[in-house]
Amino acid sequence: MVDIYAAAAFSKDNKGGNRAGVVLGRSELTSVQKAAIAKEMGYSETVFVLDSDKADFRLQYFTPTEEVPLCGHATIAAFSTLKLLSMLDKPEYTIETEAGILNIYIKEDSLILMEQNCPAYLKILDSDIFTGCIQKGFIDHRFPIQIVSTGLNDIMLPVDSAEHLKRLSPDFERIANMTKEKEAVGVHAFTLIKESDVTAICRNFAPLYGINEESATGTASCALACYLFKYYKQQPQYVFEQGHNMGEISRIVVNILYHENVIDSVFVGGYGHMLGKKSLPV
């Protein structure tokens, strides 16, 4: 049997957030067994926290269909679980992932921040790629459609209003085919919110990886903050909400350190809470 904790990351007031499975230890599990556990849990990702000879922990991430190199919300869920189980005794940790060695910071109020790679601004795409995927008339043409990465390639899709963002009706099969062709994980649709402490409301679609829509996406939020830093406003913090359409509102914080218009480092963070534990046969 293997114990799997269920935790929600990027929660707002201990509600909502994005759920992930968390397995501690169990280095003897094979990739096939890990994938089967992730499929059984049914969350967009399940994370396996393992020993590392390069960092404090090694983290592996599995969707219901395959392994992915990095997952922000599953990382937050893992460290929220470790903290709630009193398994953390310092404010800073390193993690080994397939995307590299990253830093994790645990704040006194239990905010967990995860360092990501500095941004790579990749291809700018024509809106025609969304023909048949979503309502093209909802696209905000003041901003480019661009692939941005702070660890994973995501397509930033600006939408012209919160109402249109809510009304987006994706064709997931076409989005899966399009993102595969563009070598991207998914589409991160957003609309800016003015006169609020929330910078933007977002929706994320990654059907290529078996995730039609998820309620919080840390890596894509980091990419979006860097995108907004380049095309909208340069500021030290961006706050995003995601999951409104799913009834699981998440709040995601991205902090950026920069000088002279250049990003030095970027961190995505949020709060997490425990949902329970279950045991599965392996």
Residues forming the active site? 45
- For the chain, the maximum distance between any two Cα atoms, rounded to a whole number of angstroms, is 54
**Are 264 and 118 contacting, i.e. CB atoms less than 8 angstroms apart?**
yes
At a CB cut-off of 8 Å and minimum separation 6, what does 267 contact?
105, 113, 114, 115, 116, 222, 254, 255, 256
Torsion of CA 91, 96, 99, 102, to 10 degrees: 20
Residues 62/68, Cβ–Cβ less than 8 Å: yes
Task: Tell me which amino acid residue 245 is.
Answer: N
Distance CA 82, CA 275 (A): 13
Alpha-carbon distance of 46 to 44, in angstroms, equals: 7
Q: What angle do CA 79, 83, 89 make, to 5 degrees?
A: 105
CB atoms within 10 A of CB 20: 31
